[in-house]
Structure 1
Amino acid sequence: MKIPAKLFIPTALLLVLTLLSSCRSEEPKKAEQNYLRGELPVQEGMVVFNQNCASCHNFNTTEIGPNLAGITEAMDKEWIKRFIQNPQQVIENGDERAVAQFEKFGVYMPSFKYLKENELENLLAFIHKFSEGEKKNTSNRTGALINPIETPIPDSEFILSIEDFTTIPPSSDKAPDTRINTLRALPTSEGERLFIADLRGKIYEITSESPVVYLDVKNQLEGFIDQPGLGSGLGSFAFHPDFENNGLLYTTHTEPSETKVADFAVPEGAKSRLQWVLSEWKSDSPNEQTYERKRRELVRVDMVSQIHGFQELTFNPNSKPNSPDYGLLYLGVGDGGAALAGYPELCGNSTHIWGSVLRIDPLGTNSKNGKYGIPKDNPFVGTVGLGEIWCTGFRNPHRITWDISGSDKMFISNIGQHSVEEVNLGVKGAHYGWPFREGSFVFDVNANPEMVYRPSEQDLAADFVPPVIQYDHDEGNAVSGGFVYAGSQIPSLRNTYLFGDIPRGTLFSAPLSQIENGQQAKVEKVRLEINHNPSELIDIRPNERVDLRFGQNSSGEMFLFTKSNGKVYRIVDYKRKTASSAN
């Protein structure tokens, strides 16, 4: 947003908000019905706020400007908008509240008519959400950081070029068209096969002609549901590394709460909103395009909400037969919303399954339910912790990938609350901080959940592993974990970890050489070229979530796709900007 040189916005908004915060009406307004609540408007409002207001205001103390906590509940929204747009007119019209404050301060504030309607709405949406969050600050913690990472991410000197690869058929006659979520490559003796799954229940094989249904999980399972929630349905799938011989495929999906007794149930007093289920499917003809299958259930887990359930399901692609990791299944399990639903003790705790990455042997039987195995080299075997857990301390471990170019590094992307997104290097037995950290910053479940706090010396001494990559919500909303490019077709992209932001579709890169625990890798924004035309993913369907995802085939080439419109793109080049493309 361009700021006219004659206006000094922080000072101006200080006067606006001084008026607003000191002139509270007697009856609270039903503010929730009046303010935008989508993630994109709130975060775009954050950008406006951080550019113009954050130097004077926060939501839990009076600094240069007033404390903004509760302001949108106390004041009528339309009055706030009128005053910001033309304070002098409101005063001269004799508004009692405005006149009283003008007499106190003796100065008119400049008009803000230049603000576009959507900019103003977004700004107020952000102020409302974060001021309401301060009501939850029962610990009375101060020092909240609205903009924890002030330095903006710089632009890369490279442009990523992508081309249309395929389009997945619509899975509903209602928006969104599709909910494609996971792409998998299956190397076989006859060549590579490529698959993609839609959360509404179908796994497609991408053939040279068109995508064809490989397995319709929804039609096979009476209890299958794909609502509510952005992540409900067919969550993920993974082929056993010996699939060509044993025909084993693994999937995760959601069912209604209390469909069956859960192997990991919510504690007494808590209510399950839904259940996540891990299944094994066996085919006697694994090389056939249609999948004749027999199913068995491995594990069932209760969730206290519909969010942050089972996420990535995957095998380590670097493991070989007879290696300790071969055939072991990794599963990211989110906190289920427990941290902010009154059950923070359920996550970030090795005695509970939520907020962890699991590592199990799907062919073993030494688990409590006898349906899978617990590897003897897992870190919590023989302790009070759960033997299934490989590492813990995650809010939403959305993607788990490995570098197949030689470093064998394990990447775990973890979606944050409302402040920081992170990428971690997977370490056996590590704790990554949630619900006590969001990124490298302090998170306090008893404080304002919309913000984070700077760690003290005592905080820094805690045994949490900080992320190797992080960015705040000026730059995006929810991290989309990616891959280290390991292909041969784009030499300039080698040794680069490519990832992005789910809702906004922003692309980021980081050099593999800098991704080490104990330091922050340099991150850059990568501009995009779609079918040889400079563009951005968000331009394809404006005002909608991009829902960005990444995929990689067995030779290391990469794809990206947009969940809601079924478009799959192939990455074809990574080239330096020219003078014309930089403009």
Structure 2
Amino acid sequence: MHSNLSHRLFLAVMTWIAAFVHIGIVVAQDRPAPANTSNAWDQGWKILFDGETTAGWKTYGSDKPIVGWEVINGALVRNHSGAGDIITTDQYDQFELEFDYKISPGGNSGVMFHVSEDAPYPWMTGPEIQILDNAHGKDPQKSGWLYGLYQPTKPKWVARVEKQANIPSPTIPDATRPAGEWNHVYLRVTPNQGELLLNGVRYYRFHKGDNDWNNRVRQSKFSAYETFGIGAEGHICLQDHGDRVAYRNLRIRPLGVDGQLTASPRAPLQIATTPAFTRLRFAEMSTETEEGKIATIRPVAMQETPAGYFLVALQQGKIIAFANSPSAEKIIDFLDLSDRVADYRKGNEEGLLGLALHPQFKTNRQLFVYYTAQAPPRRSVISRLTFNKSFAFTANRTFTEQILLEIPQPFANHNGGSLAFGPDGYLYIGLGDGGSQNDPLANGQNKNSLLGSILRIDIDHTDQEKPYAIPQDNPFAGQDDARPEIYAYGFRNVWQLSFDTKTGDLWAADVGQDRYEEINRIVRGGNYGWRQKEGSVQFGGEVVSAADSGEFIDPVWQYDRHHGRSITGGFVYRGEKLPELQGHYLYADYVSGNIWALGIPKLHPTVRAEQLTSNQIPVIAFAQSALGAAFILTEGVPANAFYRLQRMETSKTDSAP
């Protein structure tokens, strides 16, 4: 909201005392979380408010000292009438800005950017993020809206899938927490695109200065001010609207003109990706699709058998096999499940998603798969496939399918699908929260739902009417308020999980919403936070008590949108050919194509993940051979769908004499 003098004076007289009593006590009791700049994944931020003084701020349009804004227990509080608007002494062009705010009941304030001192009021020059008590505030422009210009919108794809699933959510999202509670705002402003997230929920995107922006300005009250929104840089402003408001953890991260971090990344390790099986070919009859295009594959899981063959699950619903040899040529159409597997082209995250060999595969010939069913209703299926005794990789294969679990899925996305056997012999299953966005059914924190969890089941025994048993030491076994299959929960979309072959630790990557991608070390009964947290920060409008917040387990590593948008989990490397990677967790990002190694033995906030190669590959999955060699799986023709990691050779010109 944009202030005027009479409104300020009225509110100062009528509500100042009540607001002071309410929010003053809360601020005094609620210690702020420090703005974290020590973590290696969180570099480049500049503190705008040190939690102790008003250094770095000045009164708008005046050189007089700041009055009416006070530092109370680490928060910058508009504490007295007539305080006035304050701005940063420095100016910023393209940047990321984030802060926490706490508004008083019925209160109103604002945070502006690209502000100049060329007008009587800052809102005449810089766009404003509205700060409001949505429940009792009198302004129709709600908190987080870009005042008079942009309001939260539900993506069209979300509206479509929610309508199909008959699971409605509000047309205009409201992720705010009530007056007296801390809320978090993230703002990104670049020449290419801007966006705002409130409590982790994306509200809108904008492009300052494009046709859409200019049309909105022309239709708003700001069209009367020639100075509005024209500056490519300016101050950050905190508005005094006559109401008590507190801010903390204000920090800014300058960006380059391309919208990326200005700091130069370290040189990648001298590890290269190289095609692993360059001679692989389909049989002549299957080299083209029905449309006459070269057939590609989407491998999602790969495991080596005792006979030295790789079995590869393709999202298309097939399993292929080939020899673990660089000279391998022949692809064996090992198994075709496409008659029961959903077409991934209709739902990008559906299809055949997981594969795991029974630890005794050599003798019992059992293979486990995870797929989304083709026939309605929409559901995920975990099955045991048992092959005939005389089967061979080249011929004479028949199998029986035993469905172990069928899990209803409300939406097509966030299916998870990763399968892995632990050193205890139990089968672990990674699931997503059921889909759409923001976990609309709150499955992540619902232990009565299998969604949003990692399951652990005993597939060698049965239990009552189930074709599997519940391990006695499962954390929720025997409890009435939880599914006994759950081993850990609070996940958005696990992709993928793996066990450290040396320590037995379980690792899982969790795909984030709009801020952070996660790597988690999984413990029995652990709650990993979603949808009340994304990464290490709170998410959504639910108020989380200190006791509940302490229950959540933060990721051991996370990264933001400067590094990627969709994590692909790998495994802890224990091979011998690349000793520099020994004990490092390998992972990648499907969107950015970057591949990293995270040192596990020395995990510390200052430790950095090492980028392995400057080559960018949309990694779908990782795999390892029986001897620990690392492979990377991506979409492509077979000869270009599998890569291995190897040390880069130093050319003679680079060698020391």
- TM-score relative to the length of structure 1: 0.67
Do residues 216 (structure 1) and 216 (structure 2) align? no
Question: Residue 477 of structure 1 aligns to a residue in which SS?
Answer: coil
> Can you give the 5+ residue segments of structure 2 that lack an aligned partner in the other structure?
1-90, 96-112, 117-124, 130-144, 157-185, 234-245, 256-260
Change (3 A) 1:149 1:471: farther
Q: How far off is 1:98 after superposition? A: 7.3
Do residues 343 (structure 1) and 422 (structure 2) align? no
Question: Residue 459 of structure 2 aligns to a residue in which SS?
Answer: coil
Q: How far off is 1:171 after superposition? A: 8.0
- Contact kept? 1:243, 1:286, Cα under 8 Å: no
- Contact kept? 1:339, 1:435, Cα under 8 Å: no
Change (3 A) 1:573 1:246: same
Q: How far off is 1:555 after superposition? A: 1.0
2:450 matched to which residue of 1?
353
Correspondence for 1:101 among 211, 217, 225: 225
2:406 matched to which residue of 1?
300
Question: Residue 297 of structure 1 aligns to a residue in which SS?
Answer: strand
Q: How far off is 1:380 after superposition? A: 1.1
Correspondence for 2:213 among 80, 97, 115: 80
Correspondence for 2:365 among 232, 247, 254: 247
> Which range moves more in the overlay, 224-233 or 374-383?
224-233
Return the letter of the residue paired with 2:368.
Y
Change (3 A) 1:338 1:280: same
1:281 matched to which residue of 2?
385
Change (3 A) 1:96 1:387: closer
RMSD (Å), alpha carbons: 4.6
Do residues 572 (structure 1) and 646 (structure 2) align? yes
For 2:92 and 2:453, locate their aligned partners in 1 and report how far apart those are by CA, in whole Å.
49
- Contact kept? 1:364, 1:372, Cα under 8 Å: yes
Correspondence for 2:316 among 200, 210, 224: 200
For 1:435 and 1:143, locate their aligned partners in 2 and report how far apart those are by CA, in whole Å.
23
Question: Residue 562 of structure 2 aligns to a residue in which SS?
Answer: coil
Do residues 562 (structure 1) and 562 (structure 2) align? no
Q: How does 1:130-529 map to 2 (within 5 A)?
A: 154-155=265-266, 158-166=269-277, 172=289, 173=291, 177-188=296-307, 192-207=308-323, 208-219=328-339, 221=340, 224-256=342-374, 258-259=376-377, 274-283=378-387, 284-290=389-395, 291-316=397-422, 319=423, 325-326=424-425, 328-337=426-435, 340=438, 342-344=440-442, 346-366=443-463, 369-384=465-480, 385-404=482-501, 406-444=502-540, 458=546, 461-515=549-603, 520=605, 522-528=607-613
Return the letter of the residue paired with 2:607.
K
- Contact kept? 2:153, 2:204, Cα under 8 Å: no
Return the letter of the residue paired with 1:288.
F
- Contact kept? 2:569, 2:588, Cα under 8 Å: yes
Change (3 A) 1:187 1:480: same
Identity across aligned pairs (percent)? 23
Superposed CA deviations along residues 74-106 of structure 1, whole A, max 9, x for unmatched, are: x9962537999xxxxx9xxxx99776211x66x
For 2:273 and 2:252, locate their aligned partners in 1 and report how far apart those are by CA, in whole Å.
32
- Contact kept? 1:247, 1:285, Cα under 8 Å: no
Q: How far off is 1:354 after superposition? A: 0.9
- Contact kept? 2:299, 2:313, Cα under 8 Å: yes
Question: Residue 274 of structure 2 aligns to a residue in which SS?
Answer: strand
Q: How does 1:99-138 map to 2 (within 5 A)?
A: 100-102=224-226, 109=231
- Across the two proteins, how many residue pairs are aligned to each other? 463
Q: How far off is 1:527 after superposition? A: 4.5
Question: Residue 373 of structure 2 aligns to a residue in which SS?
Answer: strand
For 2:472 and 2:198, locate their aligned partners in 1 and report how far apart those are by CA, in whole Å.
49
Q: Which of the two has greater helix per residue?
A: 1
Return the letter of the residue paired with 1:329.
L
Q: How far off is 1:521 after superposition? A: 7.2
- Contact kept? 1:401, 1:412, Cα under 8 Å: yes
Return the letter of the residue paired with 2:586.
L
Question: Residue 244 of structure 1 aligns to a residue in which SS?
Answer: helix
Larger Rg: 2
Q: How far off is 1:418 after superposition? A: 1.0
- Contact kept? 1:232, 1:254, Cα under 8 Å: yes
Change (3 A) 1:58 1:343: closer
> Can you give the 5+ residue segments of structure 1 that lack an aligned partner in the other structure?
1-5, 34-46, 62-67, 85-89, 112-140, 260-273, 320-324, 448-454, 529-534, 539-545
Change (3 A) 1:143 1:419: farther
Q: How does 1:37-48 map to 2 (within 5 A)?
A: none
Superposed CA deviations along residues 452-495 of structure 1, whole A, max 9, x for unmatched, are: xxx98x27852111111111122110111112221112222212
For 1:514 and 1:275, locate their aligned partners in 2 and report how far apart those are by CA, in whole Å.
41
For 1:31 and 1:349, locate their aligned partners in 2 and report how far apart those are by CA, in whole Å.
24
For 1:579 and 1:429, locate their aligned partners in 2 and report how far apart those are by CA, in whole Å.
55
- TM-score relative to the length of structure 2: 0.60
Q: How far off is 1:403 after superposition? A: 1.5
Change (3 A) 1:8 1:380: closer
